[in-house]
Amino acid sequence: MKLSKTDPNRSIENIEWAEQNSRQALLHDFTHPDNWRILSNIKVLLSDEIGLRALLIDLFTVLGRDPEQVSQLDGVPILDVGNELLEAALSHDHLDPDLWFDAIDEDGINQFCVRFHTLDLSDPRCNVLFGRRVERLWKSIGDETCIPLARLLLSNRPQNFEMWVDLGRAHERRGAHDEAWFCYDQAQTHAPHLDVRDSFRHRMETQMETGRKTPWSPPAIEVRDEFLSKMQKLASRFHSTTDVQHEDDTDNEIEDTDVRELSNLLDAGEYSAAFFLSRRLLTRGEEWAQEYLDKASTGLASEDDVNIP
Protein backbone atom coordinates (compact mmCIF):
# COMPACT_ATOMS: atom_id res chain seq x y z
CA MET A 1 0.00 0.00 0.00
CA LYS A 2 2.91 2.35 0.75
CA LEU A 3 4.58 1.42 -2.55
CA SER A 4 1.41 2.36 -4.42
CA LYS A 5 1.96 5.91 -3.18
CA THR A 6 5.74 6.13 -3.58
CA ASP A 7 6.03 4.38 -6.96
CA PRO A 8 3.51 6.03 -9.34
CA ASN A 9 4.58 3.87 -12.27
CA ARG A 10 3.43 0.71 -10.52
CA SER A 11 0.70 2.20 -8.35
CA ILE A 12 -2.16 0.08 -9.69
CA GLU A 13 -0.13 -3.15 -9.54
CA ASN A 14 0.98 -2.52 -5.96
CA ILE A 15 -2.46 -1.55 -4.65
CA GLU A 16 -4.01 -4.63 -6.24
CA TRP A 17 -1.29 -6.77 -4.68
CA ALA A 18 -1.93 -5.05 -1.33
CA GLU A 19 -5.65 -5.77 -1.58
CA GLN A 20 -5.07 -9.43 -2.41
CA ASN A 21 -2.72 -9.92 0.54
CA SER A 22 -4.98 -7.96 2.86
CA ARG A 23 -7.92 -10.20 2.02
CA GLN A 24 -5.76 -13.26 2.71
CA ALA A 25 -4.69 -11.79 6.06
CA LEU A 26 -8.32 -11.20 7.03
CA LEU A 27 -9.23 -14.72 5.94
CA HIS A 28 -6.39 -16.04 8.10
CA ASP A 29 -7.31 -14.04 11.21
CA PHE A 30 -10.63 -12.20 11.35
CA THR A 31 -10.11 -11.41 15.06
CA HIS A 32 -7.26 -8.95 14.44
CA PRO A 33 -8.82 -5.50 14.00
CA ASP A 34 -5.88 -4.19 11.96
CA ASN A 35 -6.70 -6.69 9.21
CA TRP A 36 -10.13 -5.05 8.85
CA ARG A 37 -8.65 -1.54 9.04
CA ILE A 38 -6.04 -2.10 6.34
CA LEU A 39 -8.49 -3.65 3.88
CA SER A 40 -10.93 -0.81 4.56
CA ASN A 41 -8.19 1.76 3.86
CA ILE A 42 -7.36 0.01 0.60
CA LYS A 43 -11.02 0.09 -0.44
CA VAL A 44 -11.01 3.85 0.15
CA LEU A 45 -7.79 4.29 -1.89
CA LEU A 46 -9.41 2.34 -4.72
CA SER A 47 -12.62 4.40 -4.39
CA ASP A 48 -14.36 1.03 -4.18
CA GLU A 49 -17.66 2.07 -2.61
CA ILE A 50 -19.35 -1.27 -3.32
CA GLY A 51 -16.41 -3.18 -1.84
CA LEU A 52 -16.28 -1.01 1.28
CA ARG A 53 -20.01 -1.42 1.86
CA ALA A 54 -19.65 -5.19 1.45
CA LEU A 55 -16.76 -5.20 3.91
CA LEU A 56 -18.85 -3.37 6.52
CA ILE A 57 -21.70 -5.83 6.03
CA ASP A 58 -19.22 -8.66 6.50
CA LEU A 59 -17.93 -7.15 9.75
CA PHE A 60 -21.48 -6.67 11.02
CA THR A 61 -22.17 -10.33 10.18
CA VAL A 62 -19.14 -11.46 12.18
CA LEU A 63 -20.27 -9.28 15.11
CA GLY A 64 -23.73 -10.81 14.99
CA ARG A 65 -25.44 -7.63 13.94
CA ASP A 66 -28.12 -7.12 11.34
CA PRO A 67 -26.36 -6.38 8.03
CA GLU A 68 -29.57 -4.72 6.86
CA GLN A 69 -28.64 -1.77 9.08
CA VAL A 70 -26.05 -0.86 6.46
CA SER A 71 -28.84 -0.45 3.90
CA GLN A 72 -29.94 2.60 5.88
CA LEU A 73 -26.81 4.30 4.56
CA ASP A 74 -28.11 4.35 0.99
CA GLY A 75 -27.35 7.77 -0.40
CA VAL A 76 -24.68 8.45 2.23
CA PRO A 77 -21.10 8.84 0.87
CA ILE A 78 -19.81 5.55 2.27
CA LEU A 79 -16.24 6.32 1.18
CA ASP A 80 -16.30 9.35 3.48
CA VAL A 81 -17.76 7.64 6.56
CA GLY A 82 -16.88 3.96 6.06
CA ASN A 83 -13.67 3.98 8.08
CA GLU A 84 -15.41 5.88 10.87
CA LEU A 85 -18.21 3.30 10.98
CA LEU A 86 -15.70 0.47 11.03
CA GLU A 87 -13.77 2.03 13.92
CA ALA A 88 -16.98 2.58 15.87
CA ALA A 89 -17.95 -1.07 15.43
CA LEU A 90 -14.51 -2.36 16.44
CA SER A 91 -14.23 -0.13 19.51
CA HIS A 92 -17.77 -0.87 20.71
CA ASP A 93 -17.63 -4.63 20.16
CA HIS A 94 -14.09 -5.98 20.59
CA LEU A 95 -13.09 -8.92 18.40
CA ASP A 96 -10.62 -10.07 21.05
CA PRO A 97 -12.73 -12.11 23.54
CA ASP A 98 -10.53 -11.13 26.49
CA LEU A 99 -10.81 -7.40 25.72
CA TRP A 100 -14.56 -7.87 25.23
CA PHE A 101 -14.91 -9.64 28.57
CA ASP A 102 -12.79 -7.05 30.42
CA ALA A 103 -14.98 -4.25 29.04
CA ILE A 104 -18.37 -5.79 29.88
CA ASP A 105 -20.26 -5.23 33.13
CA GLU A 106 -23.31 -6.95 34.65
CA ASP A 107 -25.74 -4.82 32.67
CA GLY A 108 -23.75 -5.50 29.51
CA ILE A 109 -23.92 -9.25 30.18
CA ASN A 110 -27.70 -9.06 30.51
CA GLN A 111 -27.98 -7.12 27.25
CA PHE A 112 -25.65 -9.61 25.58
CA CYS A 113 -27.79 -12.57 26.66
CA VAL A 114 -30.98 -10.91 25.42
CA ARG A 115 -29.44 -9.97 22.06
CA PHE A 116 -27.98 -13.45 21.71
CA HIS A 117 -31.47 -14.91 21.12
CA THR A 118 -32.13 -12.56 18.19
CA LEU A 119 -28.95 -13.32 16.22
CA ASP A 120 -28.28 -15.54 13.26
CA LEU A 121 -25.08 -17.25 14.40
CA SER A 122 -24.66 -19.52 11.39
CA ASP A 123 -21.67 -17.63 9.94
CA PRO A 124 -18.68 -19.74 11.09
CA ARG A 125 -16.65 -16.70 12.19
CA CYS A 126 -19.60 -15.30 14.14
CA ASN A 127 -20.18 -18.69 15.76
CA VAL A 128 -16.52 -18.97 16.75
CA LEU A 129 -16.41 -15.39 18.07
CA PHE A 130 -19.54 -15.75 20.19
CA GLY A 131 -18.42 -19.20 21.29
CA ARG A 132 -15.22 -17.68 22.69
CA ARG A 133 -17.28 -15.03 24.46
CA VAL A 134 -19.52 -17.67 25.99
CA GLU A 135 -16.42 -19.56 27.16
CA ARG A 136 -15.25 -16.43 29.01
CA LEU A 137 -18.68 -15.95 30.57
CA TRP A 138 -18.86 -19.63 31.53
CA LYS A 139 -15.82 -19.26 33.77
CA SER A 140 -17.38 -16.21 35.42
CA ILE A 141 -21.13 -16.75 35.74
CA GLY A 142 -21.51 -20.50 35.33
CA ASP A 143 -23.85 -23.04 33.78
CA GLU A 144 -27.27 -21.51 34.40
CA THR A 145 -26.73 -18.62 32.00
CA CYS A 146 -24.35 -20.22 29.53
CA ILE A 147 -26.07 -23.55 28.80
CA PRO A 148 -28.93 -21.86 26.85
CA LEU A 149 -26.40 -19.73 24.96
CA ALA A 150 -24.35 -22.80 24.02
CA ARG A 151 -27.50 -24.52 22.73
CA LEU A 152 -28.24 -21.54 20.50
CA LEU A 153 -24.72 -21.60 19.10
CA LEU A 154 -25.01 -25.31 18.35
CA SER A 155 -28.47 -24.99 16.81
CA ASN A 156 -26.91 -22.63 14.26
CA ARG A 157 -23.73 -24.66 13.71
CA PRO A 158 -24.04 -28.25 14.96
CA GLN A 159 -20.60 -29.19 13.59
CA ASN A 160 -18.99 -27.18 16.43
CA PHE A 161 -17.88 -30.32 18.28
CA GLU A 162 -15.81 -28.40 20.84
CA MET A 163 -18.92 -26.59 22.07
CA TRP A 164 -20.79 -29.93 22.24
CA VAL A 165 -18.03 -31.21 24.55
CA ASP A 166 -18.23 -28.10 26.75
CA LEU A 167 -22.00 -28.39 26.94
CA GLY A 168 -21.78 -32.10 27.73
CA ARG A 169 -19.39 -31.43 30.61
CA ALA A 170 -21.73 -28.78 31.98
CA HIS A 171 -24.66 -31.21 31.96
CA GLU A 172 -22.50 -33.93 33.53
CA ARG A 173 -21.51 -31.56 36.35
CA ARG A 174 -25.19 -30.95 37.01
CA GLY A 175 -26.03 -34.65 37.00
CA ALA A 176 -28.12 -34.36 33.80
CA HIS A 177 -26.72 -37.58 32.38
CA ASP A 178 -29.13 -37.98 29.48
CA GLU A 179 -28.38 -34.46 28.25
CA ALA A 180 -24.66 -35.06 28.69
CA TRP A 181 -24.83 -38.25 26.62
CA PHE A 182 -26.68 -36.44 23.81
CA CYS A 183 -23.97 -33.76 23.68
CA TYR A 184 -21.08 -36.22 23.74
CA ASP A 185 -22.83 -38.29 21.07
CA GLN A 186 -23.14 -35.22 18.84
CA ALA A 187 -19.49 -34.31 19.45
CA GLN A 188 -18.22 -37.79 18.55
CA THR A 189 -20.52 -37.92 15.51
CA HIS A 190 -18.97 -34.73 14.11
CA ALA A 191 -15.44 -35.61 15.26
CA PRO A 192 -15.02 -39.40 15.16
CA HIS A 193 -11.45 -39.11 16.43
CA LEU A 194 -12.86 -38.13 19.84
CA ASP A 195 -13.92 -40.72 22.39
CA VAL A 196 -15.97 -38.43 24.65
CA ARG A 197 -19.18 -40.46 24.27
CA ASP A 198 -17.39 -43.76 24.89
CA SER A 199 -15.49 -42.33 27.85
CA PHE A 200 -18.70 -40.98 29.33
CA ARG A 201 -20.35 -44.38 29.02
CA HIS A 202 -17.35 -45.96 30.74
CA ARG A 203 -17.67 -43.46 33.61
CA MET A 204 -21.38 -44.19 33.93
CA GLU A 205 -20.83 -47.94 34.02
CA THR A 206 -18.01 -47.84 36.54
CA GLN A 207 -18.80 -47.28 40.21
CA MET A 208 -16.31 -44.77 41.50
CA GLU A 209 -16.12 -46.34 44.97
CA THR A 210 -15.59 -49.96 44.00
CA GLY A 211 -14.49 -49.79 40.37
CA ARG A 212 -17.13 -52.41 39.58
CA LYS A 213 -19.03 -52.34 36.31
CA THR A 214 -22.78 -51.73 36.33
CA PRO A 215 -25.14 -51.90 33.33
CA TRP A 216 -25.98 -48.56 31.79
CA SER A 217 -28.00 -47.80 28.69
CA PRO A 218 -28.22 -44.64 26.58
CA PRO A 219 -31.48 -42.68 26.85
CA ALA A 220 -34.59 -44.12 25.24
CA ILE A 221 -35.47 -43.25 21.65
CA GLU A 222 -38.35 -41.02 22.80
CA VAL A 223 -35.97 -38.94 24.94
CA ARG A 224 -33.46 -38.65 22.10
CA ASP A 225 -36.26 -37.59 19.77
CA GLU A 226 -37.34 -34.87 22.21
CA PHE A 227 -33.77 -33.54 22.47
CA LEU A 228 -33.33 -33.38 18.68
CA SER A 229 -36.78 -31.81 18.31
CA LYS A 230 -35.78 -28.99 20.68
CA MET A 231 -32.56 -28.40 18.76
CA GLN A 232 -34.50 -28.38 15.48
CA LYS A 233 -36.89 -25.75 16.82
CA LEU A 234 -33.98 -23.57 17.92
CA ALA A 235 -32.41 -23.93 14.48
CA SER A 236 -35.74 -23.13 12.80
CA ARG A 237 -36.58 -20.01 14.80
CA PHE A 238 -36.01 -17.80 11.74
CA HIS A 239 -37.78 -20.24 9.40
CA SER A 240 -41.41 -21.32 9.19
CA THR A 241 -41.65 -25.13 9.18
CA THR A 242 -44.51 -27.42 8.30
CA ASP A 243 -44.07 -30.07 11.02
CA VAL A 244 -47.80 -30.73 11.33
CA GLN A 245 -49.22 -34.22 11.79
CA HIS A 246 -52.74 -35.47 12.40
CA GLU A 247 -53.98 -38.55 14.21
CA ASP A 248 -55.48 -40.03 11.04
CA ASP A 249 -52.29 -39.62 8.98
CA THR A 250 -51.03 -42.86 7.51
CA ASP A 251 -47.35 -43.83 7.73
CA ASN A 252 -46.87 -42.91 4.08
CA GLU A 253 -48.51 -39.51 4.56
CA ILE A 254 -46.30 -38.81 7.59
CA GLU A 255 -43.21 -39.80 5.61
CA ASP A 256 -44.32 -37.60 2.71
CA THR A 257 -44.72 -34.69 5.15
CA ASP A 258 -41.22 -35.26 6.53
CA VAL A 259 -39.78 -35.50 3.03
CA ARG A 260 -41.45 -32.22 2.04
CA GLU A 261 -40.20 -30.47 5.16
CA LEU A 262 -36.66 -31.74 4.69
CA SER A 263 -36.72 -30.70 1.03
CA ASN A 264 -38.06 -27.25 1.95
CA LEU A 265 -35.40 -26.77 4.63
CA LEU A 266 -32.59 -27.82 2.29
CA ASP A 267 -33.92 -25.61 -0.53
CA ALA A 268 -34.06 -22.67 1.88
CA GLY A 269 -30.49 -23.30 3.03
CA GLU A 270 -31.68 -24.16 6.56
CA TYR A 271 -29.10 -26.90 6.90
CA SER A 272 -29.00 -26.95 10.70
CA ALA A 273 -32.73 -27.54 11.01
CA ALA A 274 -32.56 -30.21 8.28
CA PHE A 275 -29.67 -31.85 10.11
CA PHE A 276 -31.56 -32.20 13.40
CA LEU A 277 -34.78 -33.31 11.70
CA SER A 278 -33.05 -36.00 9.66
CA ARG A 279 -31.22 -37.25 12.77
CA ARG A 280 -34.56 -37.43 14.59
CA LEU A 281 -35.97 -39.56 11.79
CA LEU A 282 -32.93 -41.84 11.75
CA THR A 283 -33.26 -42.27 15.51
CA ARG A 284 -36.80 -43.53 14.88
CA GLY A 285 -35.46 -46.06 12.41
CA GLU A 286 -36.34 -44.12 9.22
CA GLU A 287 -33.30 -45.18 7.21
CA TRP A 288 -34.42 -43.21 4.14
CA ALA A 289 -33.52 -40.00 6.04
CA GLN A 290 -29.79 -40.80 5.76
CA GLU A 291 -29.74 -39.22 2.29
CA TYR A 292 -31.09 -35.97 3.71
CA LEU A 293 -28.69 -36.07 6.66
CA ASP A 294 -25.79 -36.34 4.21
CA LYS A 295 -27.13 -33.39 2.21
CA ALA A 296 -27.59 -31.32 5.36
CA SER A 297 -24.06 -32.17 6.52
CA THR A 298 -22.65 -31.18 3.13
CA GLY A 299 -24.57 -27.90 3.32
CA LEU A 300 -23.23 -27.20 6.80
CA ALA A 301 -19.69 -27.85 5.58
CA SER A 302 -20.19 -25.46 2.67
CA GLU A 303 -21.17 -22.67 5.10
CA ASP A 304 -17.65 -22.82 6.50
CA ASP A 305 -16.32 -21.47 3.20
CA VAL A 306 -15.71 -17.77 3.78
CA ASN A 307 -15.29 -15.19 1.02
CA ILE A 308 -13.72 -11.85 1.92
CA PRO A 309 -15.18 -8.88 -0.03
Walk me through the domains of the chain, giving residue ranges and CATH numbers: 11-95 (no CATH), 105-205 (1.25.40.10), 229-240+251-302 (no CATH)
pLDDT at 212: 65
pLDDT tens profile 139-175: 988 899 999 999 999 999 999 999 999 999 999 999 8
pLDDT at 178: 92
User: What gap in Å lies between CA 298 and CA 203, rounded to an integer?
Assistant: 33
**Per-residue pLDDT at 240 exceeds 60:** no
pTM above 0.85, yes or no: no
With bands split at pLDDT 50, 70 and 90, how would you rate the model's confidence at 245?
very low
- Mean pLDDT calculated for residue range 245-255: 52
pLDDT tens profile 197-222: 999 988 888 765 566 666 677 888 89
